[in-house]
Amino acid sequence: MTLDSKFAKTTTKATSKGMKNNGSSQGPALSSKSLSTRDQKTTGQGSKPSPRVGPKEDILQLDGTRVTNIDPYIEPYKKYFESRYSNFKKWIEQIDSVGGIEKFSKGYDYFGFNVTKDTIVYREWAPNASKASLVGDFNDWSTESHKLKVDQYGVWEIVIPHIKKGNTKTPAINHGSKVKICMVTKDGETIYRIPAWSRYVVQDLSVSPLYDSVFYNPPSELVYKKVNKNVTPSSDLRIYEAHVGISTPEAKIGTYDEFTDNVLPRIKDLGYNTIQLMAVMEHAYYASFGYQITSFFAASSRYGTPEQLKRLIDTAHGMGISVFLDVVHSHASNNIEDGLNQFDGSDSCYFHGGPKGNHDLWNSRIFDYSKFEVMRFLLSNLRFWVEEFGFDGFRFDGVTSMIYQHHGIGVGFSGDYNEYFSGSTDEDALIYLMVSNYMLHSLYPGFVTIAEDVSGMPALCLPVPDGGVGFDYRLGMSIPDMWIKYLKEFKDEEWNIGHIDFQLTNRRYTEKTIAYCESHDQALVGDKSLAFWLMDKEMYTNMSDLTELTPIIDRGLSLHKMIRLVTFGLGGEGYLTFEGNEFGHPEWLDFPREGNNSSLLYARRQFNLIDDNLLRYKYLYRFDKAICHLEEKYKWLSSKHQYTSKKHEEDKVLVFERGDLLWIFNFHPEKSYTDYQIETLWPGVYTIELNSDDKEFLGHGRIDPKSEYFSFPNENGSRPNYIRVYIPCRTAIVLKHK
């Protein structure tokens, strides 16, 4: 089979991988009738989407069909969009009838524990309970002393007066005391659960893997005092994806404070303007990478206290860096005693009952998004992380699993619109996401939401008023799979330049994409990062400047730089890297588990490697930093100008214009070209802004950094001008024009 035929059609099929998988990270190529970025440039089809939100009365007066003006191929599904939007409006009207979305989405001020001037109020939704008591250290775990009362909706409540001590009042439950709710189900079973709205849960693995909920009410001297304003995310997102626990060179679980003091300065130095934090919402199993959530309102205690997380975010804001949270509302841990599963003894409290409520691939539970209290719980969860911690954006995990009844399991997506709008969608989940995006963009102008969707659903990233789902970006999930496929299956001289350009630019017009070269999944044990695919044979022996620059290391460093640069330059309207990949981290991630004797040896990122001036990791770090700072200067991610002018298969040369810069890539493993003609839009004198062959990045220094290139009129080409350049093999240069 030829390379062209292998890549003729890209499909998706979900597979199991560890504790979490969203299907393959390979997304579909857009169908022949889809509107892509290149379609818009050449045909002028489509119209611009509306602002993310509008006044409430406008939302309720619309019918959700403006998407047909933006993407005319949606026209045959107009009735579907009318119906979906009608159901969205019903939810908004229902929420308005109970006080509006501002009040409704602050359920944490009503449910769980709330401390007033005179009392502690505790409320919990548990419709299958017939009796309930609050128990804990404060009452010697008595089920008789603090009984709750229930209302007609299954909401249980208790009000506990403070204890008077002279002229002062002290809460009857001490900060840090362990607490639970004890319930008797309608079947007569006595069960103990940790509160669903717990804000802090702790785990003592020497005793049990289960979490204990503690009453979180720290004294004022322990409460973090915010000093910086929130940061409105940049229109040019340069995202540094990070996991606090692995962000230390030592074989241990890192802390919020260590991340604040040691990692934030590196992110700032690199030039990333956004951090995306993984594994913050408390999860049952460390090796799940944070995707088996037990307590949705609790910041993971593995890394420290909620106050220390607040300090991390506030410090980032002081550096001008926005902070995003990896939100997992696609499923929940199936833990019973310390999770939401069977919370009130029934199979269907927060989740669908029966098989529909089980995610077989992930061994987890699926929310019933049609329920009033589930909607309140999840919307309030989003508000909580914004209001209490100051997050500036959310990356929604597992969106593909949410929005289809088949969860993407074993299903291929070819890009045919029938795959999206002909009965396989989960309408309740889609409408929940519409309400979420509407709420977040209404209440927090500039807030950013990103969808992890492998299916390529049209209108996912169009505004809710137009009938879209309302996300700002989707992840370009086919890009990392493309790079791994090339490195695994093809020789350098077999690389298909046209296909690389196609995969990097194949995104829907008006729907923005976050591009990335490799995902956190590819860093896990059993898989390989780009650096490992390129250089694993010699990464432990030849990454020192004191050793010979071997062909393997030379090739690996060159292609690592080029892959990152071309993806950053051409792949989307935002860019993401997973921590450590920017400097070619030499080892995979392997969290402590039974199979490795609970070792933390590989659950870390060795930032010390870039501090060792004898090692070659520093060159990759420098190059990544140079790209980020170049983007900060020229803002190509938000530029409307993008044009590919050359895709030469024999020469292995790719040339494109992005923003105000001219990008030239020679992927050929051996051939360098002198006086190579490059067509361009702009007349004038060109100088080098970035050169991957510069010795500063351990290149060979074959190009004079002071080179100037003069344009000439181009009478017969696709662009009005051309220049001639020297472009060595395995080299990329970025030029600016005067």
Active site residues: 397, 452
Question: Rg of the chain over CA atoms, in angstroms?
Answer: 27
Cα four-point dihedral sign 356, 359, 363, 366: negative
Match 């008797």 to its residue by tokens. 184
Helix (H, G, I), strand (E, B) or coil at 158: strand
Q: Which helix (H) or strand (E) holds 677?
A: strand 673-680
Give CA 503 to chain center in angstroms. 20
Apex CA 228: angle with CA 224 and CA 234, to 5°?
A: 130
Distance CA 431, CA 434 (A): 5
Distance CA 215, CA 396 (A): 28
DSSP 522-588: GGBBTB--HHHHHHTTTTTTS-BTTS---HHHHHHHHHHHHHHHHHHHHS-SEEEEETTGGGT-SS-
Closest by alpha carbon to 56, among 444, 442, 380? 442
Q: What DSSP designation does 51 have?
A: P
- The residues near 594 (Cβ < 8 Å, ≥ 6 apart) are none
Match 């500036």 to its residue by tokens. 392
Token duo for residue 665:
């890539």
Listed in order, strand segments (DSSP E) in 287-432 are: 293-299, 322-327, 332-333, 358-359, 364-365, 393-396
Distance CA 496, CA 27 (A): 18
Match 């954006």 to its residue by tokens. 393
Helix %, strand %, coil % of the chain (to 5): 30, 25, 45
Q: Which amino acid is at 373?
A: E
Most distant CA pair in the chain, distance: 93
Q: Work out the burial of residue 674: count CB atoms within 10 Å of its CB; fewer than 13 is exposed, 13-18 middle, 19 or more buried.
A: exposed
Q: Which amino acid is at 504?
A: L
Distance CA 560, CA 325 (A): 28
- Count CA atoms within 13 Å of residue 16 on its CB side: 7
Distance CA 530, CA 517 (A): 8
635-650 CB burial, b ≥16 within 10 A, e <16: ebbeeeebbbbbbeee
Match 């709420």 to its residue by tokens. 439
Distance CA 99, CA 120 (A): 24
Distance CA 435, CA 419 (A): 23
Closest by alpha carbon to 670, among 555, 500, 581, 520? 555
Distance CA 88, CA 429 (A): 11
Cα four-point dihedral sign 206, 210, 211, 213: negative
Q: Which amino acid is at 238?
A: R
